[in-house]
């Protein structure tokens, strides 16, 4: 009977993919992250070219503490290597009435102009996916404006498109 020979050692597998550092550090804001929330509002104002809306009449400390401490609001901030806020998102948790479940609506998502095309928006949504899963959400949804091709491309890559109409209905005067 012949002795079994060990197979020859396997050749090393060449590296086919380099790992890259994370594009930013992302974290969920809490009730006491007021300075970070203000920096995030600055990013939104610049990115949406609407500094007045995001800076003119900001809520006070108590409002932000209640909002950021709420289970129904999610603010994620992306911080660059130098500690500055380079992007973020604001989302609302919508508790459903027909079943014990919730959905998450991305209200705002922005990345500073100089930081775009680095995967920060995708990383923000991936982080939100984890938060939404922990909340038991069934879906995350977002709107995109016609003509906002980068946003449409991002959301198309990550999800399924639905064509719907959006209406703003004025609140009755008091």
Q: What is the DSSP string of 87-152?
A: EEEEEEEEE-SSSS-EEEEEEEEEE-GGGTTSSHHHHHHHHHHHHHHHHTEEEEEE---TT-HHHH
> Which pTM value belongs to this model?
0.81
Element (H, E) at 76: strand 73-79
**Domain-wise residue ranges, the chain:** 25-158
Find the helix packing angle between 61-68 and 34-47, rounded to 10°. Answer: 90
Name 128's Cβ contacts closer than 8 Å, sequence gap at least 6.
74, 76, 89, 91, 104, 106, 140
Q: Are 44 and 108 in contact (CB under 8 A)?
A: yes
Q: What is the pLDDT of residue 130?
A: 95
Which pLDDT does position 48 carry in this prediction? 93
The single residue listed with the structure tokens 């597998």 is: 13
Query: What pLDDT does residue 7 have?
Result: 41
Going from the C-alpha of 74 to that of each of 59, 106, 146, 151, the distances in angstroms are 17, 9, 25, 20
pLDDT recorded at residue 19: 44
> How many CB atoms are located within 10 Å of the residue 5 CB?
6
Tell me the pLDDT of the chain (174 aa) as tens digits.
Answer: 444 444 444 433 333 333 456 678 999 999 999 999 999 999 999 999 999 999 999 999 999 999 999 999 999 999 999 999 999 999 999 999 998 899 999 999 999 988 888 889 999 999 999 999 999 999 999 888 888 888 888 888 888 888 887 778 888 877
27 Cβ contact partners less than 8 Å away, ≥ 6 residues apart: 76, 77, 79
**Alpha-carbon gap, residue 124 to 128, rounded angstroms:** 6
The pLDDT assigned to 87 comes to 96
| CATH code of the domain occupying 25-158 | 3.40.630.30
């Amino acid at each position: 009977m012949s002795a079994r020979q060990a197979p020859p050692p396997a050749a090393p597998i060449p590296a086919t993919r380099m790992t890259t550092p994370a594009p930013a550090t992302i974290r969920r804001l809490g009730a006491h992250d007021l300075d970070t929330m203000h920096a995030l509002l600055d990013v939104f104002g610049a990115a949406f070219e609407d500094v007045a809306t995001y800076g003119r009449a900001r809520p006070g400390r108590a409002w932000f503490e209640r909002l950021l401490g709420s289970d129904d609001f999610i603010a994620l901030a992306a911080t660059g290597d130098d500690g500055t806020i380079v992007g973020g998102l604001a989302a609302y948790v919508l508790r459903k009435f027909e079943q014990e479940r919730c959905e998450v609506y991305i209200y705002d998502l922005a990345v500073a102009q100089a930081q775009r095309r680095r995967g920060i928006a995708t990383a923000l949504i991936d982080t939100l996916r984890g938060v939404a899963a922990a909340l038991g959400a069934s879906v995350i949804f977002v709107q995109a404006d016609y003509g906002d091709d980068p946003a449409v491309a991002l959301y198309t890559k990550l999800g399924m498109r639905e064509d719907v109409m959006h209406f703003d209905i004025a609140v009755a005067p008091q």
